[in-house]
Amino acid sequence: MPSAMARVADVVEQHPSAPLELTITELAEQARTSAATVTRFCRLIGFDGYTQFRVRVASEIGRASAESESPPAPRPRRDLAPDDPPEVLRQTLLETLVRALENTAQALDLEAIESAATEVIGAEHLDIYGVGDSGIMANALQSRLYRIGINAHSWTAVHDGLASAALSGRGSVAIGISNTGHTADTVHMLAEAAASGAFTIALTHDARSPIAKVADVTLATAAYVPGLRPDDLSVKHSQMFVIDLLYLLVAQHDFDAATARLSATSRAVAARRRPRRHGTPRPYRGIQEIR
């Protein structure tokens, strides 16, 4: 986030009720910036302007105070600290991840993911690019899609990926995965695929990053996050959530065929299993929630 706007964010974070008491000009002074920047800040985080932002803040504060009066004391948001005992670590991690998933679900552009799913369904050829950690995600997506009959390939090395991208054409679809959206290799592969005529989909945290610029459709894996770092644990969960949903939308398209194929792969894998100790394996029943 640009620094002047970040200062506004800081002030709001420090004094959540500031927007209620201050005019836009006063708030701007607090943040050592101009009213114009405050307006821009409100826009950036999704409001029409300062007034709407203020209304929302007021409503949140009302909500928070109502909740704080009722028993379940909301623990303050905590960072992970090096000397946390395991119980705290577990709880903090859980809360962080749950919040990340909720944010991701909230921010996800359903139209974008639907159109991505439509393209994937109609694809004659599907490449998935990702390097490093995102390469692992690329593999996960590939293996999942493959199992429901989508002829996907995942490429985690730039040379191989570029070769495949060059072979793309009309009817091809390419998905590039990059947390930061700045990973040169991935951007390169996706751009090459686009140049060859493929429909391109970017999966990234930053909807304004280079990879988003070369993509026809961008799936943001979370709302804007300042200071993203490569080891952020929640990032993977967010990415996987988007991948899950994409997979479900694709599988939905031809539900019966997808479950039949899953059943077949399941049987094939079962032969490599040690027998169960009790009960008989249940018949495959389709894409459902586990209990």
Residue numbers at the binding site for DNA (CB under 7 A): 2-5, 23-25, 32-40, 42-43, 48-52, 54, 208, 210, 274-280
Does residue 130 contact residue 176 with C-beta atoms inside 8 Å?
Answer: yes
Whichever of 2 and 122 has its CB closer to a copy of itself, that residue is: 2
Block residue for tokens 């709302």: 223
Helix (H, G, I), strand (E, B) or coil at 218: strand
Give the C-alpha separation, 211 to 76, whole Å.
35
**Residues in a beta bridge with 128:** 154, 175
Footprint of a copy of itself on 197-256 (CB under 8 A): 208-210, 225-237, 240-241, 244-245, 247-249, 252, 255
Alpha helices in 70-132 (DSSP H): 86-107, 110-122
Considering the complex, what minimum distance in angstroms separates the CB of residue 19 from DNA? 8
Q: What are phi and psi of 18, to 5 degrees?
A: -55, -45
Considering the complex, what minimum distance in angstroms separates the CB of residue 196 from a copy of itself? 21
Is there binding between residue 76 and a copy of itself (CB under 8 A)? no
Considering the complex, what minimum distance in angstroms separates the CB of residue 59 from DNA? 16
Give the C-alpha separation, 83 to 91, whole Å.
14
Footprint of a copy of itself on 99-118 (CB under 8 A): 100-102, 105, 108, 110, 113-114
Helix (H, G, I), strand (E, B) or coil at 129: strand
User: Binding a copy of itself by CB under 8 A: which of 98, 195, 257, 264?
Assistant: 98
Considering the complex, what minimum distance in angstroms separates the CB of residue 126 from a copy of itself? 18
Considering the complex, what minimum distance in angstroms separates the CB of residue 263 from DNA? 19
> Among 143, 289, 281, 129, which residue's Cα sits nearest to residue 214?
129
> Among 137, 139, 127, 120, which residue's Cα sits nearest to residue 217?
120
Alpha carbon distances (Å) from 66 to 16, 55, 200:
15, 17, 46
Footprint of a copy of itself on 46-75 (CB under 8 A): 54-56, 58-67, 70
| Sheet with 125-129: strands ordered across | 152-155, 125-129, 172-178, 199-204, 217-220
User: Binding a copy of itself by CB under 8 A: which of 35, 44, 47, 84?
Assistant: 84
Whichever of 170 and 226 has its CB closer to a copy of itself, that residue is: 226
* Binding pattern for the stretch 253-282 against a copy of itself, x by CB under 8 A and - elsewhere: --x------x--xx--x--xxxxxxxx--x
Whichever of 44 and 240 has its CB closer to DNA, that residue is: 44
Count Cβ atoms below 10 Å from residue 4 Cβ, excluding itself: 17
Count Cβ atoms below 10 Å from residue 136 Cβ, excluding itself: 16
**Residues in a beta bridge with 176:** 129, 202
Considering the complex, what minimum distance in angstroms separates the CB of residue 79 from a copy of itself? 5
* Binding pattern for the stretch 169-198 against a copy of itself, x by CB under 8 A and - elsewhere: -----------x-xxxx-x-----------
Considering the complex, what minimum distance in angstroms separates the CB of residue 49 from DNA? 2
* Residue 10 touches which of DNA, a copy of itself, none (Cβ within 5-8 Å per kind): none
Footprint of a copy of itself on 118-147 (CB under 8 A): 131-133, 136, 139-140, 143-144, 147
